[in-house]
Amino acid sequence: MTTRGKFLIGLILVAVLYFGINKLVSSGAVFKKAETQSVLLNSIELPTATGGNRANIVVPLAQLPGTAPADKGTPITWEVMAWNSQMAGMLANGGPRSTMGSVAAANGLDMQIVRQDDVSKMQADLVKNALDLQNKPETPGLIVSIMGDGLPGFSAVQNELKKAGTQLQVIPYSVGKSFGEDKLMGPKEWLDNPKLALGKTVACYLRDGDQNIALKWCADNGLKVNPDETTYDPEAVNFMSASDFLVAAEKYILGKPEARTKVVNGKNTGVKIDVVADAVATWTPGDVNIAKQRGGLVNIVSTKDYSNQMPNIMVTTKRWYDAHPKEVLGLMTAFAVAGDQVKSHPEALTRAADISATVYGDQDKPGAYWLKYYKGVSEADRNGDVVELGGSKAFNFSDNLSLFGLDEGGTNIYAAVYKTFGDVQSKLYPKELPSYVPLTEMLDLTPLKKLQQQYKGKAVAPAETQQFAAGEEIRQSVSKRAWNIAFNSGQSSFTPAAERDLNQLFNDLVVAGRLKVAVHGHTDNAGDPGKNQQLSEDRAMAVQHWLEAKSRSAFPDGRVQVYAHGASEPVASNGTPDGKAKNRRVEVVLGN
């Protein structure tokens, strides 16, 4: 047989394999004024990261989708923000509308992707769609993508949906996540001394993912936060409200002051003070605009550190979801196939970036722009300081099993993220979010489990996993916080009261999945110094073992390190019972 003949046969086999497997799988919120008392958040810990280096099983490059609309399939609209986490969804659709040769069309979908950066508009559109579906069941369904940690606040739309006879429903599949793109940018000095952020102001879109990054960093470092954006507390981190993430960046770039009433210990002093944006919580291209138009800020912390915080979560109405199980499964299948392509082949990723540019519609940002900042880059800002910009990741099928805890020995990472930030926002804004919808009322993993069974026995590209070098110490600290985990007197065993704190610590550390964890044990000065040294080590190791036993996937070998200090580093006087209690502590340091 000639070389040309062998080549043609190879192409045919690849095409048959790709489309055969595909066919097989497919068959089967702005705030009212809050109380002025600033808050010290107990903790905000995130799920452990999937996002490290790995050797991927490269799937064969499939034929890229065409550009002509397929003009067939079940119509559906997908509203998205201008966010790079959606690369797999872009490729799956082939264009703003499903194209010929796309895996969306192959799975019976005619999907229109529409840019929508306004979260409140997304909520209103879902309510309208629910009413339209009630009156006319053949109305195209609506799916919207939001930051996963922002879903508790977004779930406030549930009351309006219930009036329309339905409720929110999560599509049990994520196309990707932010991996550095969303961040807190602040003065370089904050890296070494987080307390310098006290009395400063962060511009951001309130009660959403980017503010959550800042809130978690404050909690991790024991910094009070002022939840009232109309006042100024010199002893807390303050916030400046922006209408969206780009306006947040503009507030820093322009440096326009805002008048605030000064509060001290929650009391109004009657003194007026002008504040400016000292820092910003934003995402790409907000970070790029800051670097190029003014500079002066560096990455304090981002979703590269809090690597499980911000998966792309798609929500729809239960009315549409229940009536279209085939389409839900088809959508998930299409995204799974495209996810492997985007992760494995530069050609597929480039095509996805070009589609993104068309969907987002910014004339000055072609596909090459979105591709560049999807990968993430280090560039000099206007002042010559090097800053990290951008960074997202696409998910495949295995990544989703890890995200939702369906992999062997896995943890439902997203459930931990949802509860972590739901609790935080409810505590900070009790009037606006007195409660949030339990995730169990919106998330049904049955379709994902069904796909898992259909994939069983087949070669599947693995999920990304974070690798930690055993014995490698933390070089750059992100946070340091003392935890008052209760031990039985003179022992390394936990009291019943410790369970709540341990579970909160677990959830916090799951969110910050890419960071190493150093557990430092300390005692008071009572008793023999040698025994205290050993006791501090035993208690730190008890915390390590508890975490690893609860989830080996979240706490793989090398992630948690133990240090024993005995009574050598008191934080209070050992001359009083209260001081002794403060010295009997476990400190957790996060870093890389």
DSSP secondary structure string for all residues of 320-374: HHHH-HHHHHHHHHHHHHHHHHHHH-HHHHHHHHHHHHHHH--TT--HHHHHHHH
d(CA 530, CA 287): 51
Prediction pTM value: 0.85
**Structural contact between residues 78 and 111, judged by C-beta atoms closer than 8 angstroms:** yes
Backbone torsions φ then ψ of 553, nearest 5 degrees: -70, -35
**Structural contact between residues 237 and 223, judged by C-beta atoms closer than 8 angstroms:** yes
Say yes or no: do domains 19-29+61-169+313-455 and 477-591 share a fold.
Answer: no
**Structural contact between residues 218 and 225, judged by C-beta atoms closer than 8 angstroms:** yes
Residue in 465, 452, 441, 458 with CA at minimum distance from that of residue 401: 452
Fold of 19-29+61-169+313-455: D-Maltodextrin-Binding Protein; domain 2 (3.40.190)
First vs last C-alpha separation in the chain:
55
Question: Which residues, listed in sequence order, are joined to residue 517 by a DSSP beta bridge?
Answer: 560, 590
d(CA 156, CA 524): 46
Residue 317 is encoded by which pair of tokens? 């109405």
- Please state, as a whole number, how many other Cβ atoms lie within 10 Å of the Cβ of residue 212: 31
**Structural contact between residues 99 and 93, judged by C-beta atoms closer than 8 angstroms:** yes
d(CA 138, CA 144): 19
**Structural contact between residues 503 and 550, judged by C-beta atoms closer than 8 angstroms:** no
**Structural contact between residues 353 and 212, judged by C-beta atoms closer than 8 angstroms:** no
- Please state, as a whole number, how many other Cβ atoms lie within 10 Å of the Cβ of residue 490: 11
d(CA 45, CA 68): 46
**Structural contact between residues 548 and 560, judged by C-beta atoms closer than 8 angstroms:** yes
Backbone torsions φ then ψ of 276, nearest 5 degrees: -125, 170
Question: Which residues in 246-274 are b (16+ Cβ under 10 Å) and which e?
Answer: bebbbbbbeeeebebebbeeeeeeeeeee
How far, CA to CA in Å, does 440 sit from each of 173, 179, 476?
A: 15, 26, 37
d(CA 145, CA 461): 24
Which value, in Å, is the radius of gyration of the alpha carbons in the chain?
25
d(CA 239, CA 219): 15
Task: Give CA angle at 506 (504, 510), nearest 5°.
Answer: 120
**Which DSSP symbol is given to 487?**
B
Residue in 530, 487, 503, 512 with CA at minimum distance from that of residue 589: 512
Residue with tokens 């210990």: 265
- Please state, as a whole number, how many other Cβ atoms lie within 10 Å of the Cβ of residue 537: 17
Residue 159 neighbours by CB under 8 Å, 6+ apart: none
* Single-letter code of the amino acid located at 151: L
**Which DSSP symbol is given to 170?**
E
pLDDT value of position 488: 84
What are 366-372's contacts with CB under 8 Å, separation 24+?
370/84
Task: Give CA angle at 53 (387, 211), nearest 5°.
Answer: 45
Beta-strand pair 74-80/109-115: parallel
Regarding the domain with residue range 477-591, which homologous superfamily does it belong to in the CATH classification?
A: OmpA-like domain (3.30.1330.60)
d(CA 60, CA 92): 16
* Single-letter code of the amino acid located at 307: S
Residue in 281, 229, 236, 237 with CA at minimum distance from that of residue 260: 229
d(CA 259, CA 91): 47
Per-residue pLDDT of the chain (592 residues; tens, 9 = 90+): 444 444 344 444 434 334 443 433 334 333 333 345 676 554 333 344 444 434 455 689 999 999 999 999 999 999 999 999 999 999 999 999 999 999 999 999 999 999 999 999 999 999 999 999 999 999 999 999 999 999 999 999 999 999 999 999 999 999 999 999 999 999 999 999 999 999 999 999 998 889 999 999 999 899 999 999 999 999 999 999 999 899 999 999 999 999 999 999 989 999 999 999 999 999 999 999 999 999 999 999 999 999 999 999 999 999 999 999 999 999 999 999 999 999 999 999 999 999 999 999 999 999 999 999 999 999 999 999 999 999 999 999 999 999 999 988 788 999 999 999 999 999 899 988 899 999 999 999 999 999 999 888 777 788 888 888 877 888 888 888 888 888 887 889 998 888 889 998 999 999 999 999 999 999 999 999 999 999 999 999 999 999 999 988 889 989 999 999 999 999 999 999 988 888 888 999 999 8
pLDDT value of position 260: 96
Delimit the domains of the chain by residue range: 19-29+61-169+313-455, 477-591
pLDDT value of position 58: 67
Residue 142 neighbours by CB under 8 Å, 6+ apart: 76, 77, 79, 125, 126, 129, 316, 317, 320
Question: Please, how many CA atoms are within 13 Å of residue 550, restricted to the half-sphere of its CB?
Answer: 22
